[in-house]
């Protein structure tokens, strides 16, 4: 078979050493990677062929903004200064996947090797990048529509129009608006005639046949299984308490009298409240005879809360490493103390700090979690890990809300017996290195890519809770 690499055609024959031409593996891997990424193709992208290393700081640019000025016929124009600014981005998202092709498998054709090994390896990196990008949704939660666990086919239209209103009032440009749904939220939308009736959609039934929601209400709507969607099972709940005020509370209130709890709450833990089903963090509390009698929450209530309304408290665990973890730490964090393991897609905070992270990987055997980005601040052994409420965190954003910055990695020295290639397409670069491992008696293949993710403007994103 023939492959075109950098303008040259390379012929690869089944079952011979040419099956390990790294340029071919890199091109095939990049094709799979590119095809399987959702978010990376929708956000602001910054790519340069300049070689970089993990930890390097590069600059991307926040787009310019201008103000329309009025003049009369005889006035000179007013020249506005360009407001585009450099934004430093750390290349701290270094993803790789490695696998061994044992000697016993060497007789397989390149096509079989791609199916068995290369495709799933590239897809794992694509999934990781999407998890990281979609994990930024919690950075935009100050602007939101809807409430957790309440999205149904009967209120989808009201929710998406509320979302559109919030973003329009925030002056988000009408063009390039995107909405990424969780699978459960997509199911609610697809039960709505507006999104499935060929007559109402006006696409001769294409959306119904492909289950694509297309462009509606000013959004290009997509579904991605990596959109945060932790469950709200009973086992995720620490315990509950009740509102203790006959008149109840209204939207905007932040201090609540409570009862029905034995012991104290912890500053920093997350709750949701019937009537205000959004994530609320406890920022202060008061005790009487060792039992909590009053809590202060942030953000404020968004709805009317009745007397005896249930306040659900969500699980907490602890950091489990004597030395703790320094700011900038980017790998897995060991945990303990949870009654149930955390879930991929849950957001978490540490101690009483409000900085939110999203969990993108969980190893329930090693008891570790991997976060959407490196630690902003150091965390200590036994610091609380506060988990956020379950539900769907659908992400609405303009292209310029956040950026994916990608740089190619350096090629290793070929004198070391390494065959390697770096290729890029559509602003994404991937490196493939191929070596023989004498100990494991097989060919070691590594795919890796170096990225940075940066929130550019929180005003250009919002969350549709479901």
Spatial separation of the C-alpha atoms in residues 137 and 257, rounded to whole Å = 31
The reply to whether 337 falls in a domain is: yes
Instruction: Indicate the residue among 255, 289, 314 that finishes a domain.
Output: 314
pLDDT given at position 432: 95
Buried (b) or exposed (e) across 404-428, using 16+ Cβ within 10 A? bbbbbbeeeeeeeebbbbbbbeeeb
CB-based contacts of 135, cutoff 8 Å, min separation 6: 228, 357, 358, 360, 371, 372, 373
Do residues 360 and 297 share a domain? no
Cα dihedral across residues 32, 37, 43, 46: positive or negative:
negative
Burial tier of 252 (Cβ tally within 10 Å: 0-12, 13-18, 19+): exposed
Instruction: Indicate the residue among 250, 284, 314 that finishes a domain.
Output: 314
The reply to whether 8 falls in a domain is: yes
Do residues 411 and 383 share a domain? no
Q: How far is CA 239 from each of CA 146, 235, 264, 271, 369, rounded to the nearest angstrom?
A: 24, 10, 11, 10, 23
- Measured in degrees and rounded to the nearest 5, phi and psi for residue 119 equal -60, -50
Spatial separation of the C-alpha atoms in residues 240 and 235, rounded to whole Å = 12
Spatial separation of the C-alpha atoms in residues 393 and 149, rounded to whole Å = 10
Q: DSSP string covering 392-423, please?
A: -EEEEEEGGGEEEEEEPPPPPPGGGT-EEEEE
pLDDT given at position 61: 73
Q: Is 107 strand, coil or helix?
A: coil
Do residues 306 and 334 share a domain? no
Instruction: Indicate the residue among 348, 369, 390 that finishes a domain.
Output: 390
Q: Is 169 strand, coil or helix?
A: helix
Do residues 34 and 106 share a domain? yes
Measured CA angle at 300 (ends 296, 304), to 5 deg: 105
The reply to whether 78 falls in a domain is: no
Query: CA-based Rg of the chain, rounded to a whole angstrom?
Result: 25
Q: Which residues pair with 8 in a beta bridge?
A: 5
Do residues 33 and 92 share a domain? yes
pLDDT given at position 65: 65
- Measured in degrees and rounded to the nearest 5, phi and psi for residue 131 equal -60, -45
Number of domains into which the chain is organized: 3
Do residues 42 and 57 share a domain? yes
pLDDT given at position 19: 66
The pTM is what? Answer: 0.86
The reply to whether 262 falls in a domain is: yes
CB-based contacts of 369, cutoff 8 Å, min separation 6: 332, 333, 335, 342, 348, 359, 361, 362, 363, 385
Nearest residue to 57 via CA among 89, 32, 103, 33: 89
Q: How far is CA 123 from each of CA 31, 32, 132, 414, 426, rounded to the nearest angstrom?
A: 10, 7, 14, 27, 17
Spatial separation of the C-alpha atoms in residues 150 and 332, rounded to whole Å = 33
- Domain hosting 241: range is 234-314
The reply to whether 422 falls in a domain is: yes
Do residues 325 and 437 share a domain? no
Q: How far is CA 106 from each of CA 18, 438, 444, rounded to the nearest angstrom?
A: 12, 14, 12
The reply to whether 179 falls in a domain is: no
- Measured in degrees and rounded to the nearest 5, phi and psi for residue 34 equal -65, -40
The reply to whether 224 falls in a domain is: no
- Can you read off the two tokens belonging to residue 416? 């070391």
pLDDT given at position 115: 80
pLDDT given at position 172: 95
Do residues 306 and 329 share a domain? no
CATH number for position 293: 2.40.30.290
Do residues 13 and 130 share a domain? yes
Do residues 259 and 300 share a domain? yes
The reply to whether 26 falls in a domain is: yes
E strand or H helix at 35? helix 22-36
Spatial separation of the C-alpha atoms in residues 432 and 21, rounded to whole Å = 10
Contact 351, 384 (CB under 8 A): yes
Nearest residue to 450 via CA among 93, 49, 38, 90: 93
pLDDT given at position 77: 81
Do residues 302 and 408 share a domain? no
Q: Which residues of the chain fall below pLDDT 50?
A: 1-17, 198-211, 235
- Measured in degrees and rounded to the nearest 5, phi and psi for residue 50 equal -70, 125
Spatial separation of the C-alpha atoms in residues 33 and 38, rounded to whole Å = 10
Do residues 360 and 290 share a domain? no
């Amino acid at each position: 078979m023939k492959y075109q690499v950098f303008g040259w055609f390379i012929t690869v024959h089944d079952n011979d050493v040419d099956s390990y031409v790294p340029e071919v593996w890199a091109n095939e891997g990049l094709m799979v990677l590119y095809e399987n990424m959702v978010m990376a193709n929708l956000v602001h992208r910054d790519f340069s062929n300049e070689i970089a290393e993990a930890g390097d700081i590069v600059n991307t640019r926040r787009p310019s903004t201008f103000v329309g000025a009025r003049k009369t016929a005889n006035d000179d124009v007013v020249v506005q200064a360009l407001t585009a600014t450099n934004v430093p981005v750390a290349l701290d998202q270094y993803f790789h996947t490695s696998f061994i092709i044992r000697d016993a498998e060497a007789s397989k054709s390149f096509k079989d090797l791609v199916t068995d090994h290369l495709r799933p390896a590239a897809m794992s990196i694509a999934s990781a990048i999407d998890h990281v990008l979609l994990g930024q949704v919690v950075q935009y939660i100050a602007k939101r529509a809807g409430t957790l666990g309440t999205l149904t086919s009967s209120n989808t239209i009201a929710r998406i129009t509320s979302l559109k209103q919030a973003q329009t009032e925030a002056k988000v440009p009408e063009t390039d608006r995107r909405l990424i749904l969780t699978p459960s939220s997509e199911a609610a939308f697809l039960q709505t005639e507006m999104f499935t009736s060929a007559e109402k959609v006006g696409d001769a039934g294409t959306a119904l046949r492909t289950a694509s929601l297309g462009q509606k209400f000013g959004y290009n709507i997509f579904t991605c299984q990596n959109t945060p969607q932790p469950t709200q099972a009973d086992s995720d709940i620490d315990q509950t308490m009740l509102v203790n005020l006959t008149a109840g509370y209204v939207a905007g209130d932040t201090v609540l009298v409570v009862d029905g709890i034995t012991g104290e709450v912890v500053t920093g833990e997350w709750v949701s409240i019937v009537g205000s089903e959004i994530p609320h963090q406890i920022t202060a509390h008061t005790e009487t005879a060792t039992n909590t009698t009053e809590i202060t929450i942030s953000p404020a209530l968004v709805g009317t809360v009745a007397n005896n309304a249930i306040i659900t408290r969500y699980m907490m665990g602890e950091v489990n490493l004597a030395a703790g973890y320094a700011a900038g730490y980017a790998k897995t964090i060991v945990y303990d103390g949870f009654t149930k393991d955390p879930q991929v897609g849950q957001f978490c905070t540490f101690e009483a700090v409000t900085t939110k992270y999203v969990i993108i990987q969980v190893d329930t055997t090693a008891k570790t979690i991997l976060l959407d980005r490196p630690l902003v601040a150091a965390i200590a052994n036994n610091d609380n890990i506060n988990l956020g409420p379950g539900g769907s965190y659908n992400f609405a954003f303009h292209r310029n809300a956040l950026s994916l910055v990608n740089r190619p990695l350096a090629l290793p020295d070929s004198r070391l017996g390494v065959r390697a290639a770096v290729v890029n397409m559509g602003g994404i670069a991937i490196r493939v290195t191929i070596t023989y491992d004498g100990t494991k008696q097989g060919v070691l293949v590594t795919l890796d890519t170096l990225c940075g993710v940066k929130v550019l403007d929180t005003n250009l994103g919002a969350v549709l809770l479901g």
